Chains A and B, each alone.
Chain A
Amino acid sequence: MTYDHIVIRYGEMSTKGKNRLQFVRCLKRNIAKKLKHFPNIQIEALRDRMYVRLHHTPPQPVIEKLQEVFGIQSLSLALKTESDLEKIKEATLFFVKQFPHEGKTFKISARRADKQFPITTNELNYELGSYVLKNTTGLTVDVHHPDIDVRVEVRKEGTYITAYDVPGAGGLPVGTSGKAMLMLSGGIDSPVAGYLAMKRGLQIEAVHFFSPPFTSERAKQKVIDLAQRLTEFGGTIRLHIVPFTELQQAIYKQVPENCSLISTRRAMLRITDEIRKRENGLAIVTGESLGQVASQTLESMVVVNDVTTTPILRPLISMDKTEIIAIAERIGTHHISIRPYEDCCTIFTPKAPKTKPKKEKIIQYEQFLPLDEMIAETVARVETITLKPDQPLDELF
């Protein structure tokens, strides 16, 4: 009898039919990477559950790490015993006694994943419930709103007893939905968009536009720190840093002030799309939220989006700023995002940018610029940094 397992439940992955095995393998791989600093643990993946054997590793740090892995619906610490009625009875009693149970109510929720087990679920509920009642004092049954819901799951390989669920991060394992490029500005929204994209199984490569000397090294470092934080959820992230100064200045010289922002956005999207092609990505993720700023009105989006047919995923499209901030705080990107350095979108901001730009006008302004060559030349100078989770501690710290 060992109180030494963590049960991992998959949630949505279980609807994936024949591809399921692939999802499970991917999740197992992601979990193994996440838990690589716990040498003693052992992961066992079944088609509908995963078990982490702790081998005396303290459970709490492991559970905290697992809560950052997408594809996990919920987790619980479990007691494992043999699938034998007497053993199960003993284990259930031992389990209940772990909790403060005086004056509490409980119920047994048995499940038989192994239908060959000779005792039916109802009989099992009755057997275990009465055994616990007989051998404890001050504990009563309440099948509707119990204080302790003791779940007993009888499986071929053993019986697992759990009580409390810890919610997982949900979603699908990162890597099962393909790869997309995340436009990462350094603000509050884009890291959250990246997080939500990864939640649905996307692998992310980040693209950042850097305009020295108008934007500082501090702004660049901020983006590196944000991408670094996102690796905790998505594993290794490649960050592409685009030297954007010359192109941005050329646009501001050529295009009238109130349309320059839209033109800049179009150029950024084209560059991102070029990097996407080179890196074999399938889509582009942005942190746009409808109507939040001038470039995020539907009219502006139409004009910006016009430069590509690549799917553009906008996970935040219907979210309010307060909702976005709440997620940013929860995932630990907010305190980085609020460092007060300008990014390439906040420099040269026109006083009154157009909220309803005309596509034809913009195209007309842009045709006086050698944009194709400038974009190709910019993409050729992109610097790529690879960020890995769990960076070793700087020797100074």
Chain B
Amino acid sequence: MMYLDNSATTKPFPEVLQSFMKVANDYFGNPSSLHGLGMQAERLLTQAREQIARLLEVKPTEVIFTSGGTEGNNLAIKGVAWQHQQRGRHMITTAIEHPSVTEACKQLEQLGFQVTYVPVDERGIVSPTHIEQALRDDTILVSVMHVNNEVGSIQPIEQIGMLLKKYPKVLFHVDGVQGAAKVPLHLKRANVDLYTISAHKFHGLKGAGVLYVREGVRLSPLLSGGAQEMQLRSGTENVAAIVAMAKALRLSVEKYHESSARLGEMKRALIERLQAIEGIVVHTPFEQSAPHIIHFSLEGVKSEAFVHELEKQHVYVSTTSACSSRKKAPSKTLLAMGVEKMRAERSIRISLSYEQQMEHIPIIVEAIERAYERLKIVARGTK
């Protein structure tokens, strides 16, 4: 089996599963309970928080545990909106964000907020100048993803962070779900105020994530309740998944640090090989893109059929992002990059993990060629 859908979710590390089971079984206490079992659970939570803070190079008090990427993005965006609506009701984001950002913004628009969706260039990269031009007196938040989940383009977070230094009243949120552990980003240097990550994208488990909230940034919580997580996220903490996430992040940072050069080389090799196939256009930019995502489109073949055809060869890929693929909508990112609708509907995403090796490239390329050939014949036959 060749699992190439790591941007949708990753396989948990075995060590991570061990931690999860041990914590779920032995330390099941509620971290808020006063007794010893509660204390043990709370201690694990503290250790997890410290380890994650160390890996992200931030303070432990800046790490808020959430249920994952969608919650983190919603908490960041709506939390800023509710907290700072007196100051202003305008936000800036890009045309290529994940639905958990875009839809949160849309919801806010219905409630009277104004949102500017800054376009991207043909590589799928937003320009810091365009962000700056969109700023208004009543702008309270700029939200830009680090690595695009569909084509893998890396956004100029550091440059945007630098320019936002001149606008201290504008908060800066970065959706780091695809970039975490894979593409280096120094949150303090990049002047980031809020940063979302999700455990299951780096070989942890579903149901745990982190929102980094820089010290001094005030948010309004989304959930009312027992005031856990520094009053920002009520609800009994998912201790086992959080401990597992701390371990997954440590192992991922190590593994991707080792394999990042190799993955980058594999990405470039795959892009070159795929581009050579007639009817295939690669949309992932050669430079300034994450080492693990390759996005391409196929002429004359429906992408859903292609996914299933590849699956017959035990190669698992996806059409656009996992969230959008069920809607069979064209890739939003590709449309924003100026790709024609026909192509944007026929696109395929390969996303690698640290496990893939150079020698897998011919296997992947051949599987794609074979599947494409078969489907092309069918397509012609039905015409």
Contact = CB atoms under 8 A, between A and B. Distances in A.
Interface of A: 216-218, 221, 335, 338, 394-397
Contact of A216 (B34, B43, B243): B34
The winner among B22, B39, B243 for most chain A CB atoms within 10 A is B39
Contacts of B47: 394, 396-397
A396 B22 contact: yes
Contacts of A335: 59-61
B48 interface: yes
Given A216-B34, A335-B60, A335-B61, A396 B19 contact: yes
A173 B371 CA distance: 68
A397 B36 contact: no
How many of chain B's residues touch chain A, expressed as a range? 10 to 19
Contact of B243 (A221, A338, A397): A397
Given A216-B34, A335-B60, A335-B61, A397 B39 contact: no
Contacts of A397: 19, 47-48, 51, 243, 246-247, 250
Interface string B7-41: 00000000000010011000000000010100100
Contacts of B237: none
Nearest to A329: B59
A218 B59 CA distance: 21
A216 B246 CA distance: 27
B250 A218 contact: no
Contacts of B43: 221
Contacts of B250: 397
B243 to A, nearest CB: 6
Given A218-B42, A396-B247, 16 more contacts: A216-B34, A217-B36, A218-B39, A221-B39, A335-B60, A394-B47, A395-B19, A396-B19, A396-B23, A396-B44, A396-B47, A396-B243, A397-B19, A397-B48, A397-B51, A397-B246
7 smallest A-B Cβ distances: which pairs? A396-B19, A335-B61, A335-B60, A397-B247, A217-B39, A218-B39, A397-B246
A216 B39 CA distance: 9
23 contacts: A216-B34, A218-B39, A218-B42, A221-B39, A221-B43, A335-B59, A335-B60, A335-B61, A338-B61, A394-B47, A395-B19, A396-B19, A396-B22, A396-B23, A396-B44, A396-B47, A396-B243, A396-B247, A397-B19, A397-B47, A397-B51, A397-B243, A397-B246
The winner among B23, B48, B247, B250 for most chain A CB atoms within 10 A is B247
Interface string B329-340: 000000000000
Q: Label chain A's interface by main secondary structure.
A: loop
Q: Label chain B's interface by main secondary structure.
A: helix
The winner among A218, A221, A394, A397 for most chain B CB atoms within 10 A is A397
Contacts of A221: 39, 43
A395 B243 CA distance: 11
Contacts of B22: 396
A218 B48 CA distance: 16
Contacts of B51: 397
A396 B22 CA distance: 8
A326 to B, nearest CB: 14
B62 to A, nearest CB: 9
A373 B174 CA distance: 63
A216 B42 CA distance: 13
Nearest to B19: A396
B247 to A, nearest CB: 5
B65 to A, nearest CB: 15
Contacts of B61: 335, 338
Contacts of B243: 396-397
Contacts of A395: 19
Contacts of A218: 39, 42
Contacts of B59: 335
Interface string B40-60: 001110011001000000011
Contacts of A396: 19, 22-23, 44, 47, 243, 247
The winner among A216, A335, A338 for most chain B CB atoms within 10 A is A335
A217 B43 CA distance: 11
